[in-house]
Amino acid sequence: MRALVAGPGAEGRFAEVPEPEPGPGQALVEVRHASVNFSDLRHMGRLPEGTVLGYDAAGVVLRAAEDGTGPREGARVAAFGAGAWAERAAFDTGSLAVVPDGVDLVRAAALPMAGLTALRSLRAAGPAPGSRVLVTGASGAVGRLTVQLAGRAGAHVIASVSRPERAERLAAGLGAPVDIVVGLDGVEPVDVVIETVGGPALVAAWALLKPGGNLQSVGWASGQPAVFPPNSTFSLGRARSLNSFGDVTAPADDLAHLLALVAADDVSLEIGLAGSWEDLDDAKAAQLGGSLTGKIVLAVGRTP
């Protein structure tokens, strides 16, 4: 079968690879759409050459798991797991969720990594209703979903973006009241930070954290180092905490919950580019060049 694999350097290339052989607790999925995450592109060069790329997919179950778990044959599913950018992939049934009627596979493919990161980082931070929650990089896929989920939980959300045009686009797309700011100057102290930018933004966000507050570092889109001034990690009062985040284990239930929210129009997804996987190089240039907001979703093996 055909797949996109890690090539020399930091490039992806098409290759013929062996058909997947599902284990007892895995379903064989025909991948119809796959989404592109910033980390997929940035870390291509770290993978052994020939590794099938990607993590987010949506498609149809060709063969249900032998152990009887997971979705039935013919079910439309969203999937999270390594090797998603292929015509067919074997996914653990604990990484699959049935796509509700009314949700197309393009939106379903856009959801897994970004949605799980947003949902679980907020859960780990534990903001109470009325808490002040700062989301950096709020116009990105993770940031946008985090803003919406935090608002649904009753938080007072401050959404930080890098440029005025991104503030306007975010405000138009959310359809709900959120404090949108460009940069972090003038932001009052907060209880929780979901930080997706890294570098100087991480340092600035840490300085805004109240005693007892929690910062979840879930991304590093800037690619810049974070340099903390001397003594900036010390403060009087209850201890502040900074946590890394990357828990995507056993995502099926959370993925099903997120898909239900999308089906009910309780959260929205921004698709910045929908095209063919033949156009990966163009999608990569748009994503890494900063000219695109919203998820990239590519049709696999056919014209979208």
Mention every residue, 6+ apart, whose C-beta is less than 8 A from residue 68: none
Q: How confident is the model at residue 45 (pLDDT cuts 50, 70, 90)?
A: confident
Residue type, 173: G
d(CA 45, CA 172): 36
H or E element: which one contains 28?
strand 26-36
Same domain? For 194 and 227 the reply is yes
Residue 264 belongs to some domain of the structure? no
What is the model's pLDDT at position 304?
Answer: 39
pLDDT in tens, 72-122: 999 999 999 999 999 999 999 999 999 999 999 999 999 999 999 999 999
Quote the number of domains for the chain. 2
- Cα dist. 199→47, 65, 195, 263, 290 in Å? 24, 43, 10, 36, 16
CB 190, CB 210: distance < 8 Å: yes
Same domain? For 240 and 139 the reply is yes
Token code pair at residue 206? 């840490």
Q: Find, among 293, 253, 266, 247, the residue nearest to 117 by Cα.
A: 247
pLDDT in tens, 213-227: 999 999 998 989 999
Same domain? For 67 and 100 the reply is yes
For the question of whether the overall pTM of this predicted structure is more than 0.85, the answer is yes
CB 255, CB 115: distance < 8 Å: yes
Which is more confident, 173 or 93?
A: 93
* Domain harbouring 234, CATH code: 3.40.50.720
**Mean pLDDT, the chain, as a whole number?**
92
pLDDT of residue 302 exceeding 60, the answer is no
- Averaged pLDDT, 35-53: 86
Same domain? For 133 and 61 the reply is no
Residue 261 belongs to some domain of the structure? no
Q: What range does the domain containing 213 cover? A: 117-244
* Domain harbouring 14, CATH code: 3.90.180.10
- Cα dist. 93→78, 239, 297 in Å? 11, 40, 23
Same domain? For 163 and 224 the reply is yes
